[in-house]
Amino acid sequence: MCGIAGYVGSRVVRDILIAQLKKMEYRGYDSAGLAVVGGGGIHAVKVVGHVSALEQESINQWLPGNCGIGHTRWATNGRPSTKNAHPHTTSKVAVVHNGIIENSDELKVFLESNGYSFEGETDTEAVAKLLDFYYDGDPMIALNKVAKRLKGSFALGILFFDATDAIYALKKGGPLIIGLCAGENFLSSDINAVLEYTTRYYVLEDDEIAIIKKDHVEVFDAQGVQLSKTENVADWKADLIDKQGFSHFMRKEIFEQPQVVTNIILENIRDGIPDFEAAGVSDEYLKRFKRICIVGCGTARYAGLVGKNWIEHFARLPVDVVMASEFRYQNPVLFADTLVVLISQSGETADTLAAARLVKDRGISSVGIVNVKGSNICREVEHVIFTQAGVEVAVASTKAYIAQLSVLFLLSLKLGFVNGQLAQDRIHSLCNQFIDLPEILRQVLREKEAEIQKLAQACVEYESIFFLGRGLDYLLALEGALKLKEVSYVNAQAYAAGELKHGPISLITDRLLVIALVTQEAVKEKIINNLREVTARCGKVRLLFKAGMQIPADLIEQSLQLPALEDFLMPFLVAETLQLLAYYSACAVNANVDKPRNLAKSVTVE
C-alpha cells in the first residue's frame, strides 16, 4: 500500500499522475514512482521521499506516451528504497500494487528456477516478474494465469510494453476505482485523486480485470465474461481536499466537527427520536437482537468502547468490543441473535473487512458504520449507517471519530427505545440535548483553544504522559493517548484511574505528567482520591473537568474547565479537547501534523 494512480488520454501523463499522487499524500507514504508506456518501451522514475521529489526527478526525463501508472508506497515488505519503490518493471511490464502477496517467497523460488533474479525485498517484484514470465502477447491470458497463482490481497495497475494505449487492472482485496471522463480515463485507489477531473467512476470488485483505454473501459470476471458495470457518482467535491485557510488539515477537520454532528442529526433524528430507516435499520430489525458485538481497529475500536458503555446503559444489552485484527483468529462465538457492528472510516480497513466477510459467511446480521460510500465493507454488511463526515485528509482521525461516536450514541438510544428500556420523554430529552451539541462544540473551539494550546506546550516538556479516567472518561483517555502518540510522538499511555496502584504507579515521578479526565459525576470523588496518590509521589497533574464540579483548589492549577452537559454527552467535548491538545503538541515539536511518520490513513493490509 498506499496509493495507486493511472491515466490514459491526451494530456501529458506525467503531470496528471503527479497531480493524482499529490491528492493521496495524506494517506502516508515513504517513496513514490511513476511509469509511462510509449516510445518503444516502459519508462519509469522512482524516488525515496515525497511526490515533490518525484516531480523534480521526472522533469527532465524522457517520458513519451499518454498512458501511465503511479504509486506512493508505505513500506510493508522491504525498507524504503528506490529498488523497493513502485512501479516494479521488467522489459515487458510495469506494476503498481497495494496489498500483500502472501506466497511471494514461493513465487520467487519458482521464478529464480526459471532464470529470474531479484533486486529488492518486496512481494510486488515477484508479481511483475511472474507477469513477465507468462506474457506472450496477450495481456488477458497472462493476467488470468497470474491471478490464479497469487495468494493474499492485491490491487494492481499494470502496463504492457506493447500496449501503449491501455492500463490493465486486477483486484482482490484493496480498493480500486476507475474514473470515467470523455476522451480520458483514470485508475486510482482513492476517489479523491480523480475528483478534479470527474465525479463518475466504476468500483472494481474482487477477481475482476479491467482494460482502461481513453475512449472506453471493459471489465471482465474471473471466467473472462465481460461485465456491465454500474456507474457511480461521487457526492463530494475536490475543493474539500483543501485547507481553506487552516494551517493543517487536522485543525480544519477538528473545526468541521460541529457541522458533522449537524449532518448526522439531520439524517438520523425524526420527531425527536433516532431513526435509521434510511439505512434499512428498522425498529423491527433492531428488536431481533439480544446481544451486540462491535469490531474495529484503533480509533474506531475506541469509539466502539464508548458505544458499549452507552448501549449497555440505555438498552441493557450485553456488548463485546473486539479488535478487528484479533476477531477472526479467536474463532468468535456468534449467535443468531447477535448484531455485529463494524466500524471503519475508510470502509477498506483490511482486518475489519476480513471480519465483515467472516460474519457474512456465518450468516450473522451486520451493520457497518462507515464514512466512504462504495467501499468494500459497505458491500459485505447487511446495512450501512454512513457517518456523514465528508473527506478526512489528516492521517490522525478526528471528525470521523466524533461522527462514529454520534452514530453510536443515537444507535444506543434507539436500541433502548425499541427494547422498552427508554421512555419516550427520556429519549426526547437526550435527543434534544444532542441537537444542541454542535453549538457547544463550537463554543469549546471558540473559547478554549488558547488554553488547550498552552496545556500542549506543557505536554511536550515531559518524558511521558499518563491519561487517567474512570468510566467513560477512561475510554476517552485511551483515544486521547493514541492521538498524542500519533501526531506528536510523545510517549503517552492511558489507564483506568482505579488501576493505577496495581502497577503503573511505580512510574510516577516529577518527570511524568498526568492528564486526568473528570467529567463523570458518579466517580468524581474516586478519581480525585487517585490523583492524591499521584501528587503524593511528586507527579504533575492537569485536569479536564466539567463546569460546576467541586474540585480541590490544589488540583486546579493549569487545568481546563469544559461546559457542563449530562455525563453521557461529555465524551464529545472531551474528545474534541484532546484532539486539539494532540494537534498543538505536534505543532510544538514541529512534527508533520497531517502525515505522521510511519502511519497510513487507510490500513488496507493486515
- 144: Cβ contacts below 8 Å, ≥ 6 apart: 209, 222, 224
CB 211 within 8 A of CB 168: yes
Catalytic hit among 2, 67, 297, 587:
2
Q: At what angle do helices 424-435 and 437-459 cross, to 10 degrees?
A: 60
Q: Is 546 a catalytic residue?
A: no
Q: Is 601 a catalytic residue?
A: yes
Cell numbers placing 592:
508533520
What is the Cα–Cα distance from 528 to 547, expressed in whole angstroms?
15
Residue at grid coordinates 500500500:
1
Exposure b/e, 124-144, CB count within 10 A at least 16 = b: bbbbbbbbbbbbeeebeebbb
What is the Cα–Cα distance from 310 to 411, expressed in whole angstroms?
9
Q: What are phi and psi of 248, to 5 degrees?
A: -145, 155
Rounded to a whole number, what is the largest CA-CA distance in the chain?
Answer: 80
Beta pairing class for 184-188 and 177-181: antiparallel
Beta pairing class for 31-38 and 67-73: antiparallel
Residue 298 sits at the vertex; the CA angle it makes with 155 and 407, to the nearest 5 degrees, is 95
Q: Is 568 exposed, middle or buried (0-12, 13-18, 19+ CB in 10 A)?
A: buried
Cα–Cα nearest to 386, from 280, 297, 460: 280
The DSSP-derived string for 19-54 is HHHHHTGGG--SEEEEEEEETTEEEEEEEES-HHHH
What is the Cα–Cα distance from 384 to 368, expressed in whole angstroms?
5
CB 581 within 8 A of CB 484: yes
Q: What are phi and psi of 465, to 5 degrees?
A: -135, 135
Q: Is 283 exposed, middle or buried (0-12, 13-18, 19+ CB in 10 A)?
A: middle
Active centre residues (catalytic): 2, 601
